Amino acid sequence: MAQTSGLALERLLEDKDSARSIMIIDSVQQSGNPLLLNFAGRAAQDQPLVVLCTETSPKSILKSISNHQNANITFYDAYSNPNGWNSTFPTDQLLEGKHKCHTVSQLSDLKPLVKALAEQTQAHKRCTVIIDSLAPLLFAAYEQCYQLVRSLASLATDDRRVIVMHHADISYARAAARHAPSLMESLQRLFSVAIQVEAPPQTDTSNMEHLTGFKAVDQFSYMNTNSNNTTAVAKIMWKRKSGKVLHETNAFRCDGQGISVMTAAAQETEEDLDEDLQESAGPDPTANLSFNLTLTDEQRRAKEKVVLPYLKAQNRGTVEIESSEPTTTPAPPSSGSIYYEPDAADDFDDEDPDEDLDI
């Protein structure tokens, strides 16, 4: 649809502007899986894919890509046998007779994996690399995972995209992690686009009834299912090559087949509330006094007519000074500049500051 081609998320999904490396940040509340699969599906239509599966099986990724017979996808399967416990699992297989699937059976040893991924990526002039989720890699080898991500992000060029998904709400309780810089920030620095997927702001249960068709009966009205909604909000931070950083919030809805991107509902209502609060925040100081501090209309008009005495100096002689009617409240000067013209008695002697004293 022509009118949505301007939205950042739509441009990223369609690979219109070259965004080299994309990180999708999600949480348990709202999964980024549909978005990731949509990226994969759209990319598979016209370019080869290299997928490192850690949390979803290669088969389910293949199922979600429509028309996968014509696609060129290479899988690195770190999902089915990451610790090598299942000795009967085949090392290499062909999925659906066409797509190569290499099994990673020792996830904690990331060096060969990095090497294989880098080789595979460089073999194609134009491709998309997708890492399903960083969490198992971080659990397996915390220090090495950063190297993996960094080497992949450095491989990304205008024609080779790297898309990675990261779960924001897992804490890695490692001794090293406590003293290292924040993981989220370190990872975000490597990527040019960061998409944070969040649940839409909650309105009321009538929304739930509309989406799920389930009307909360009195007994279960304390339960609200507000995770993994079909509609979600994506906050995008896009660091462009020119140096400009673009922040945009889009909403998207996953409906089985694809994703439709919409503009997010404006956050105006929140800002209006804040202003209202500030206005009514403090008690009115001009009330409850024995004298009158308010202005009548005539007095207000007269006050506005007053020319301030030092206006000439402030505006460098553009306004005539005239005497004014007495005003009820003096107007404070907006800025202060000091003009100092030393006369004869002023003597700049740094050594003796008291020389001009006559005692």
Partner 1 sequence: MGYDKLDAALAWQRNLPPTGSNIVIADTLKSNGNFLLHHFIVNHLRANQPVIVIGLSQIFNHYFLIGRKLGINLQTLKQNQQFVFIDGLTHLTSYTQKAPFPSVTTPTTPNAVLNGTNVQEFYNAIRERVEASAKQSPNPLVIIDDANVLLWAGFSHNDVLSLLHNIRVLIESVKGNCTRCTVKSM
Binding site for partner 1 (CB under 8 A): 57, 79-83, 85-86, 136, 139-140, 173, 219-220
- Give the CA dihedral 287, 289, 291, 293, nearest 10 degrees: -30
> Quick one: CA dihedral 45, 47, 48, 50, positive or negative?
negative
Give 63 or 300: the residue with its C-beta nearer to partner 1.
Answer: 63
In whole angstroms, the minimum distance from the beta carbon of 109 to partner 1 comes to 14
- Cα distances (angstroms) measured from residue 346 to each of 13, 158, 236, 352: 73, 69, 62, 13
In whole angstroms, the minimum distance from the beta carbon of 166 to partner 1 comes to 17
Q: Are 26 and 168 in contact (CB under 8 A)?
A: yes
In whole angstroms, the minimum distance from the beta carbon of 261 to partner 1 comes to 30
In whole angstroms, the minimum distance from the beta carbon of 85 to partner 1 comes to 5
CB under 8 Å to 196, separation ≥6 — which residues? 25, 26, 168, 234, 235, 236, 237
Give 87 or 286: the residue with its C-beta nearer to partner 1.
Answer: 87
Give 57 or 249: the residue with its C-beta nearer to partner 1.
Answer: 57
Tokens found for residue 156: 């990304």
**Helix or strand holding residue 232 (H, E):** strand 231-239
Q: Are 227 and 29 in contact (CB under 8 A)?
A: yes
Provide the residue count of the chain: 359
In whole angstroms, the minimum distance from the beta carbon of 73 to partner 1 comes to 20
- Give the CA dihedral 30, 210, 235, 263, nearest 10 degrees: 160
Q: Are 121 and 50 in contact (CB under 8 A)?
A: yes
Give 102 or 139: the residue with its C-beta nearer to partner 1.
Answer: 139
Give 37 or 236: the residue with its C-beta nearer to partner 1.
Answer: 37
In whole angstroms, the minimum distance from the beta carbon of 178 to partner 1 comes to 15
Give 15 or 55: the residue with its C-beta nearer to partner 1.
Answer: 55
